[in-house]
Amino acid sequence: MRKYLLLGVAAFAITIYLTNASWLAQAPPRDPTLISHRGVYQTYSKENLGRDDCTAIHVYKPEHDYLENTIRSMRAAFEAGADIVEIDVHPTTDGEFAVFHDWTIDCRTEGKGTTRDHPMSYLKTLDIGYGYTADGGKTFPFRGKGVGLIPTLEEVYRTFPDKRFLVNIKSNQPQEVVLLDQYLRERQLPPTGPLLVYGSERVMQKVRALRPEAWGFSRESVQTCSYHYLLLGWSGHIPAACRNGAIVVPNTWEWALWGWPNRFMQRMDDAGALVMALDFAGRGRAMHGIYKPQELDFLPSDYRGALWVEKIEVIGPYAKTKFTSPH
């Protein structure tokens, strides 16, 4: 009896191994997808930074003069190798959608109040470089250089009709999705391809109802996809939360993903799930993008998923040498 039990266990183990053997699957024939968070922007220290603190007064010494979520920043990101640029949007009181990160305009501009409580005509008068300082307020290197640089969502799409953008819906209100859907349909946007979007799970449920063809995710859906795959991926099962969504590959426990790398990538491709490599080393549980080339050392040279990138001007050129082109 014991002999048969051991044989059964061995057969099961062999089956699990073969089901998840990476060497039995080929890497997808494409280059990695580089997602540039905010475009080329001024990075900042996150040490002792609260959730609602102003990041513009914590920036590092500037290495360039680009400001996030601007047309110029987006163009630089694409030139550096970005395939998708992540942008943040807010509805305005005059029917537009402003592309701007912060919930309020107090941090980066000379204005006051909640971003969405103003008309776009007013937001266009603001200097988005006004609040930046790297030395505790002694100097403001971008003051006067960011006047009128907040674009509308339509401006972004029209300026780059053949490029892709990942739209971050900042609020937790489904009604905002209705407004965005109407806005895009009236203007026949995006110009090409489906809408790429992410936000809270409550918001994404509305997106899925209004635009079944859209691709998107929430932090909740990513967590559910990742955790459920860790539990059930050994069987080849793909959790429902992964389909037409995203899953993260942390640089701390990627080895735990069943079939890593090629079998895992093949499964996620089949499910329409975007695989995103993130930096989790010593950074907590939130989504943290790639800043430095060495943060990509854990990925194989034939990795074909996505990279969530904070410094695209550094990572973009490096990725061309790090990842071999498919034959």
Over residues 25-36, the pLDDT tens digits come to 887 788 899 999
Query: What SS3 state is found at 84?
Result: strand
DSSP string, 284-309: -SS---B-SGGGGTTS-TT--SEEEE
For the entire predicted model, the pTM comes to: 0.93
- Calculate what percentage of the chain has a pLDDT beyond 90: 80
pLDDT at 7: 67
- Could you tell me which of 311, 219, 314, 221 has the C-alpha nearest to residue 271? 221
pLDDT at 48: 81
Give the model's confidence band at 79: pLDDT under 50 very low, under 70 low, under 90 confident, else very high: very high
Query: Which pairs with CB-CB distance under 8 Å and at least 24 residues apart come from 229-238?
Result: 229/257, 229/258, 230/256, 230/257, 230/258, 233/20, 233/257, 233/258, 233/259, 233/264, 233/267, 234/16, 234/19, 234/20, 234/258, 235/19, 236/19, 236/20, 236/267, 238/267, 238/268, 238/270, 238/271, 238/273
What single-letter DSSP state applies at residue 27?
P
Residue 196 has pLDDT above 60, yes or no: yes
- Strands 164-169 and 97-99: what pairing? unpaired
Please state, rounded to an integer, the average pLDDT across all residues of the chain: 92
Q: Which tokens sit at 278?
A: 């993130």
Q: Which residues partner with 88 through β-bridges?
A: 168
- The answer to whether residues 20 and 235 touch, using CB atoms and an 8 Å cutoff, is no
φ and ψ at residue 127, rounded to 5 degrees:
-100, 105
